[in-house]
Amino acid sequence: MKSQAQLTAEYQVARLSGRPSSIVPRYSRGAFTLIEVMIALGIFFMATFSILALVSNILRNARGLQRPQVDAGMAAAIYVNTNRFSVGSVSGDLSDSLPDFSYEVGTDEFATNGLLQAEVVLRRRGGHQTPDSISILVFDPNFQSTPFSGRR
């Protein structure tokens, strides 16, 4: 059996003479080449991005199947944005966000200082059940109160 020093000497002689050697240095056994690593990384990233695209597509489809949240606050926001408050009833529809719903707002004077109470009721078209309602207080400095009206 040859010693480590003899094997190293034979390898050096074979390397300098240009002859192929059957002696391979210990550090080159079992290593991957750069091309092999790049191919493996390419396959890994292709698989990862394919899975991410699939998950993204599934989430988008699930979001499309989800029913919209029904909230009377959307109708209250529409009513308040008009800046036209009077005692009585106002109705409208939520055609942009919820096409199957309409709202009705009943406004009464709450106090004599221009404070109004609005009862917002959301209704589904063709249905008798009210999915949501909300009561809000609205201040209108231009509101003309009548004597002896308003709650105390």
Q: What is the pLDDT along the chain (152 residues), one digit of tens a residue?
A: 677 777 777 777 777 776 655 555 555 567 889 999 999 999 999 999 999 999 999 999 988 887 767 788 888 888 888 877 888 888 888 777 777 888 889 988 887 777 889 999 888 877 767 778 889 988 888 777 766 554 44
φ, ψ of residue 105 in degrees (nearest 5): -120, 120
Residue 7 CB partners (closer than 8 Å, separation 6+): 23
CA distances from 7 to 63, 75, 94 (A): 68, 88, 87
Domain spans in the chain, listed from the N-terminal domain onward: 4-65, 72-139
Tokens of 104: 């009705």
